[in-house]
Amino acid sequence: MPNPSRLRAAALTVTALTTLSVLLAGCGGGSQEDDDADLTDQKLSWKDCPAPSEAEGGGAAPSPLPDGDEWQCATMKAPLDWDDPRGDTIGLALIRARASGEADRRIGSLVFNFGGPGGSGVTTLPAFGQDYAKLRTRYDLVSFDPRGVGRSDPVECLDDDQLDTYFQQDATPDDRAERTELVDNTEKFNAACEKNSKEIIPHVRTTDAARDMDLMRQVLGDEKLHYFGISYGTELGGVYAHLFPRHVGRAVFDAVVDPTQTAEQSSLGQAKGFQLALDNFAEDCVSKTEDCPIGDTADDVEARIARLLKDLDRKPIPGVFPRELTQTAATGGIAQALYSKDFWEYLTEGLEQAYDGDGRVLMVLSDALNGRNENGQYSNITAANVAINCADDKPRYDTAYVERKLPEFRDASPLFGDYLAWSMLSCTDWPVAGAADHPDVSAPGAPPILVIGNTGDPATPYEGAGRMVDALGKDVGVELTYKGQGHGAYDSKNRCVQDAVHGYLLDGKVPAAGTVCS
């Protein structure tokens, strides 16, 4: 994935899993209330949900819930510019499932953000809604497409054909010509974003989305915002807690973004995190009772992967016709599979096939990372990811700076170091200035927030959870450690983690700080 400033928290889509199955079978204080009084009085018109738009990823309308209830969708108006709250508005797409339990036990709405930035909550929540069935007993489950995402005035940059070409480029240049091509393509991408989305891109900062959530809280009729943030959703939740500490209800942060890091530090941390996940994958493969089909030892597994990527840099192999599996696409596909231990089997199969000259599985994994479905349509997750990161992050890096940093990134990860170092160029010529070096999440006066770190998390390394706790401030962050693999903890189905989350969100029982689940 050449452009985004760091690997996002992108789960495999249902469409990508279907495609893989086919392949494998055959092979701050709330100051906004007075200013936006008119918008807080709006009434949402909840209706049956339509099929997802192309920007949301396409596909079919969400299926009914297991109890037969239908998902409901609505559009909420919000100010385009929160500095001019009575000016132009945009529409934010919302989805909900009404609480399934007794009415007198309903707590309110539980708002989800699944990360990215740039992920569509309107498509993600119903795709994984059954995982939150217990939480639905006392909450309306609610999610949304943040501004610039999906149906919420999406950022638009390149079209589908242009993106196919864009993702075929070499994201780890080895010489001056390749560096020039990478810089030129990044400039073209960013110029297309400015041309096609100049009205929205100045207004997609995380602080804007946090203010949208406080408006959402009021429109939904909740005194407090009860919240479940995953990956980037933890950064959004932390910014919300900073802006509106007195409005925070029961909140859980899972797969925690380190709020103290610059974009460079975050990319370097991800290089270490994905290298750790790759090490764990290799060790797992060779530890099984049957022979590991992709290497005799963990070092052998990783050495063969390195050789594959080097070979692909010289000569790509057939991928998903008519596209070829390049070094960049293979690296992205490997990264995508490391987001969850459930996908390690696909990575093993994909590597086996790639060694035999068949790049289809790794390319499907890469497509999932980039938001491409089997019909060749891209969601706007890449465009939104770049726009939000570049609006948030103040630092700008050039090729000379990246070249100086390459040794440090390669030390962190021989496989992912170059990939993540060069991705720092994505915001160099972005037309909107970045807001800050890192977000402010200090939230004095907020109630306890449960902060869950996973020791094997590749995309948001474990250390970020402790730093989030410290940054939130005294008596706010409560850290829980999960000794596991993959991005996030709750969806691992670990009983200890889920009991802690349910105990807090459903019954208000805060687990002891320092609790460890394994």
CA separation for the pair 41, 245 (Å, rounded): 22
Residue 20 has a pLDDT of 59
The alpha-helical segments, DSSP class H, found in 220-297 are 232-243, 263-287
Percent of the chain residues past pLDDT 90, beyond the cut: 92
Burial readout 123-140 (b: 16 or more C-beta within 10 A, e: otherwise): bbbbbebeebeebbbbbb
Catalytic residue among 145, 153, 457, 491: 457
pLDDT tops 70 at residue 33: no
- pLDDT-derived band at 7, boundaries 50, 70, 90: low
Catalytic entry in 100, 487, 491, 492: 487
Cα dist from 394 to 61, 84, 100, 146, 397, whole Å: 38, 23, 44, 21, 10
- From CA 149, how far away is CA 93, in angstroms rounded? 9
Mean pLDDT of 32-51: 80
* DSSP type of residue 49: P
- Work out the average pLDDT over 450-468: 97
d(CA 278, CA 337): 10
pLDDT in tens, 278-302: 999 999 999 986 789 999 999 999 9
14 pLDDT higher than 50: no
Report the interhelical angle of 176-197 vs 381-392 (nearest 10°): 90
User: Which residues have a Cβ under 8 Å from the Cβ of 501 and sit 6 or more positions away?
Assistant: 252, 254, 450, 452, 490
Q: How many other C-beta atoms can be found within 10 angstroms of the C-beta atom of residue 462?
A: 19
Residue in the block written with tokens 């991408």? 189
What Rg, from alpha-carbon coordinates, does the chain have? 22
For the chain, first and last CA: distance in Å?
Answer: 32
User: What is the CA angle 432-170-24, rounded to 5?
Assistant: 110
d(CA 142, CA 114): 11
C-alpha 71/C-alpha 57 separation (Å) is 18
The answer to whether 226 is a known catalytic residue is no
Question: How far apart are the C-alpha atoms of 412 and 171, rounded to whole Å?
Answer: 18
Number of H helices, E strands in the chain: 19, 12
What's the CA gap between 292 and 1, in Å, rounded?
Answer: 28
Distances, alpha carbon 14 to alpha carbons 323, 375, 491, in Å: 22, 14, 15
How many whole angstroms from its chain centre is CA 109?
A: 22
Distances in Å between the alpha carbon of 470 and those of 60, 115, 191, 479, 517?
Answer: 43, 21, 39, 10, 21
438 is catalytic: no
Query: Residue 363: its pLDDT value, please?
Result: 98
* Given 100, 231, 340, 366, the catalytic residue: 231
> Is residue 467 pLDDT above 60, yes or no?
yes
Strand partners, 139: 108
Average pLDDT (176-196) is: 97
Angle at CA of residue 439, ends 251 and 470, nearest 5°: 60
Q: In sequence order, what are the residues at sequence separation of 6 or more whose Cβ sits closer than 8 angstroms to the Cβ of residue 382? A: 1, 3, 4, 118, 157, 163, 370, 371
Mean pLDDT computed over 321-350:
96
Of 19-23, 111-115, 473-477, least confident by mean pLDDT is 19-23
Q: Indicate the DSSP class of residue 227.
A: E
Position 30 scores a pLDDT of 38
Instruction: State the DSSP H helix or E strand holding residue 249, giving kind and residue range, or none if neither.
Output: strand 248-254
**Per-residue pLDDT tens for 431-442?**
999 999 999 999
In degrees, rounded to 5, the angle at the alpha carbon of residue 187 between the alpha carbons of residues 182 and 193 is 130
pLDDT tens digits for range 68-118: 999 999 999 999 999 999 999 999 999 999 999 999 999 999 999 999 999
pTM above 0.75, yes or no: yes
Average pLDDT over residues 311-336: 97
What letter does residue 150 receive in the DSSP assignment?
T
> How far is Cα 180 from Cα 106, in angstroms, rounded to an integer?
58
How high is the pLDDT of residue 475?
95
Please say whether the beta carbons of 81 and 212 come within 8 A. no
> What whole-number distance in Å separates Cα of residue 30 and Cα of residue 502?
28
Confirm whether 242 is a catalytic residue.
Answer: no
Taking alpha carbons only, the member of 382, 485, 392, 384 closest to residue 440 is 392
Question: For residue 260, which of 457, 471, 90, 412 has the smallest C-alpha distance?
Answer: 471
| Distance of alpha carbon 496 from alpha carbon 316, whole angstroms | 45
Give the pLDDT of residue 288. 84
Model confidence at 372: pLDDT above 60: yes
- Separation CA 122–CA 52 (nearest Å): 8
One-letter amino acid for residue 439 of the chain: P
Q: What is the mean pLDDT of the chain?
A: 93
